A and B are shown apart, each in its own frame.
Chain A
Amino acid sequence: MRALLRLLPTAALVIAACAPQAAPAPSASQVNKVGGSVTFVATTDPDTLDLHQTSNPVSSTIFGWIYEPLVYQDLDNTYKGLLAESWTVSGDSRSITFKLRSGIAFTDGTPFNADAVKFTFERLQRVGAKSPIFETFKNVTAMEAKDATTFVMTLKDPYAPIFHDLQVSYAGILSPTAVKAANDNIGRSAVGTGPYKLKEFQTGQQITLERNAEYKWAPTLFANRGAPYIQQLRYRVIAEPATQLAALDAGEVDYLGLRAQDLAKYSSDTRFKIFDSFTFGLTYLGFDAKRPPFDNAKLRAALAKAVNKDEIVQVVFENKLAKAQCCPIAESIQGYDPRLKDLELKYDPAKAKSELDGLGYKPGADGMRISPDGKAWRPVLYTTTSDTHGKISTLLQAQFKAVGVDVQIKQLESGALLAATPKAEHDLYLNGYSWNEPDMFSLFLSCDRITSSNRVLYCNPQLEDLIKKGRTELDQAKRMQIYFDAQKLTMQEAPWQPLYMPISKTAVNAKIQDLKQGQAGGLYWHDAWVKP
């Protein structure tokens, strides 16, 4: 569900991508499509609608409808203008000048301009410690609104992922007037330029968004260039999966991510259409690379060969909701390179056994391996309490047992897990990331993050050097080569054994017409309408 919710803003951003030309007058058939409502499910309340004060995925999903950022990532992974019309990068790559679109207004009626962009990003620098793009804006040394449609951003160092970070929903532009009117307290009063505006926030129950009838800057990607057809979007807060399914069956919700066990039922139900989506993430098995014995890359590589990814995908996901991955960058994310498949540490239990033997981990009397110093060896696998992670851990335990390694499982609630990993309490770590940028290396495998988001505590100066180069290299071809090298090194060193990319399958009420699916999986709503 988290993965699904993360996808929605991406879709919404693309929907909202604007075009320079004015929208044509709606035809009679278009007018007839206006109306109706679509109800989504949220597992929790969005904690706040202040996009600088949260990293909550439900909030992020809703931001995608209300706010618009300067740029969006197109189907081919390139960045295109949304609120920005165009931009130029200075010769030293330290300054970006954005030419902004004119004629765009916030839903409070005030005009969108360079002052609003400056106001928004300065506020992010001031109060945005909880925002996933806070660190990005630490690298921004100056911002200037040269005129109403020219905004200049100066960086301390060249920073290649800047456009990725500017396209996420957390980088949406706020209405300064609305923020000031709310005395900076915009947790329940979001005002942006997006195709929808906040109508009602019923705590613990429902968030209702109302169509922005003044919206007329939809991108050429859509047949409908004006306001969206669907009158209202609702997010119903339902935590319990069984209740979510019952609500879908009863017609109380129209859109729900499915579990593998529910697919057969809904695939044959004509009341629903099923949409597939890749996700921009990867689940991996990590090794605590800082502490013995897993500071030994050969031991990590030997254990990686005991992992049967295909079995995990088949047993846990019935070959439907996940796809096995070879490499640290999932195939949905820019930077994936199929040539790396040859370097994959493939499932080979015989080789895993012989390599473990060679490293001195010999089987004891009970068939389970003991460490070279003769002591019992029971590596502990840490993971979340999620049902899926529980099943995968059990399967991994059996796969390791087959090569004589007695792995113990410790499932921790996610908050406790986040606190445990920097303390290196674990030997193995099962979790995933969701980040649509090859710079994910800097978040999850860099030395700088060893006390925070680098949960395998892996630090390699060679990789560190590649990470720094990848962040500053703006030439796309050269940058992709850097990430090819970074992946190659990571696959040889094996701090992670990549497992699978989650795939989301969503049941959508068949009354919703003209909902389109992009190549990368996201759903595009701007042409969609509800059949009465």
Chain B
Amino acid sequence: MGRYVLRRLILAVPVVLGVSVAVFLMASAVPGDPATVLAGDTASAEQVERIRHDLGLDQPLPIQYLHFLDRLAHGSLGESTRTHREVLLEIADRFPYTLALTLGAVTLSTLLGLALGILAALNRGRAGDYLTMGFAIVGLSVPTFLIAILGIIVFSLNLHWLPVAGAFSPASYVLPTVTLSLHSAAVKARITRSSLLEVFGQDYLRTARAKGLRERAVILRHALKNALIPISTIIGLQFGALLGGAYIIENIFGWPGIGRLATQAIFNRDFPLVQGTVLVSAITFVLVNLAVDVLYAWLDPRIRYS
């Protein structure tokens, strides 16, 4: 297993480098010159040229990329063209908020999705099934921003239970986390239901029951553990989607996360910051998927990595 993890980590290097090249090329293709945007709408051509030179943007693209790699090799992602702070420092300020939001949403959506999926599967064709699947359809079809705004109106403006925006207290985490988790919970509920229904007909469950195991043990220890493999795949994939999709939530709830940082960096043509945020997201995504692959082996002892 250790060698497998090491091999995956080594293989992640070209993936991350590939991402960096793609982002670098995309950034350079975006219309709008960083120096012009930085200089503002009253700047002279000379000011723009001076800023362009200061930022090294007057050099050929391959040279600019080599400088980026050189900085990377020295443990730096460069300096934000706007704030003049180290990109790593900017990300370090914001990433924990996004990570907390994403981890909270993944945890909540997994718990909620599993509970609803189990409930639906156990009550197949009955009211419980229709109710939970109805929730899933609502969760999938109602746009996240609408849920967010409704949440603010009900819980912040009418009930005064929760703050509208910011990340100043534990209560601030509730609305963004719940909003971000609902869509994901709906997906997991549907997959849990169908996975469970698939394993319910398997011989080993009949054997477990014949051995006299209690129904709870049959469901949780035998059925659910086997049904968890497709769900854990989804968790890995959704983690990445939630990291990226947190932008809308961050924007609505004034959340100081990396999604807003990246988007603002794109509008500001702050390319070192864009590259930095994408790289950190890519590395996180790679690591989470590696963790999911390792989890497979724990869930299903037949899976062995070499």
Contact = CB atoms under 8 A, between A and B. Distances in A.
Contact of A239 (B33, B163, B251): B251
Interface in B18-59: 30-33, 36-45, 47-48, 50-51, 54
A448 B160 CA distance: 57
Contacts of A433: 41-42
A243 B165 contact: yes
A132 B41 CA distance: 9
Nearest to A449: B44
A437 B56 CA distance: 34
B50 A48 contact: no
A413 B43 CA distance: 18
Q: Range of interface residues on chain B?
A: 35 or more
A238 B165 contact: yes
Contacts of B222: none
A284 B82 CA distance: 29
A236 B166 contact: yes
B74 interface: no
Given A132-B42, A239-B251, A250-B164, A415 B36 contact: yes
A204 B36 contact: no
Interface stretch (A101-109, A332-340, A416-424): A416-424
Contacts of A50: 84
Contacts of B43: 55, 130, 132, 134, 452-453
A433 B40 CA distance: 11
Given A204-B256, A204-B257, A240 B40 contact: no
Contact of B51 (A129, A206, A243): A129
Given A55-B40, A129-B39, A252 B93 contact: no
B39 A206 contact: no
A417 B82 CA distance: 19
Contact of A413 (B82, B255, B267): B267
Interface string A22-48: 000000000000000000000011011
A443 interface: yes
B94 A246 contact: no
A237 interface: yes
A451 B157 contact: no
- Most chain B CB atoms below 10 A, which of A134, A206, A420, A452: A452
B32 A416 contact: yes
A53 interface: yes
A135 interface: yes
Contacts, number: 145
Nearest to B167: A205
A237 B256 contact: yes
A419 B28 CA distance: 13
Interface string B128-154: 000000000000000000000100110
Contact of B163 (A252, A413, A415, A452): A252
Contacts of B54: 129
A179 to B, nearest CB: 14
Contacts of A161: none
A452 B45 contact: yes
A187 B48 CA distance: 21
B84 A204 contact: no
Contact of B39 (A130, A236, A413, A449): A130
Interface in B39-95: 39-45, 47-48, 50-51, 54, 82-85, 90, 93-94
Contact of B44 (A416, A435, A448): A448
A453 B42 contact: yes
A223 interface: no
Contacts of A129: 39, 47, 50-51, 54
A55 B43 CA distance: 9
A323 B40 CA distance: 26
Interface in B139-189: 149, 152-153, 156-157, 160, 163-168
A417 B32 CA distance: 7
Contact of A250 (B44, B82, B93, B157): B157
A203 interface: yes
A170 to B, nearest CB: 11
A467 to B, nearest CB: 14
B156 A250 contact: yes
B260 interface: yes
B163 A250 contact: yes
A81 B22 CA distance: 54
Contacts of A130: 38-40, 43, 47, 51
Given A236-B254, A448-B44, A452-B43, A247 B164 contact: yes
B37 A247 contact: no
B83 A451 contact: no
B193 interface: no
A252 B264 contact: no
A56 B270 CA distance: 14
A165 to B, nearest CB: 11
A476 interface: no
Contacts of A44: 264
Contacts of B39: 55, 129-130
A185 interface: yes
Contacts of A481: none
Nearest to B254: A238
Contact of A134 (B47, B90, B252, B269): B47
B16 interface: no
Nearest to B32: A415
A249 interface: yes
B239 interface: no
Given A420-B31, A452-B48, 6 more contacts: A48-B84, A240-B251, A250-B164, A415-B37, A418-B37, A449-B44
23 contacts: A47-B82, A47-B268, A48-B83, A132-B43, A204-B256, A205-B256, A206-B168, A236-B165, A238-B166, A240-B251, A240-B254, A243-B165, A243-B254, A246-B153, A247-B254, A250-B164, A252-B163, A416-B30, A419-B33, A433-B41, A452-B44, A453-B41, A453-B43
Q: Which 10 pairs, one residue from A and one from B, show the smallest C-beta to C-beta distance?
A: A204-B256, A415-B32, A55-B40, A47-B82, A238-B254, A416-B31, A203-B93, A415-B37, A416-B32, A452-B45
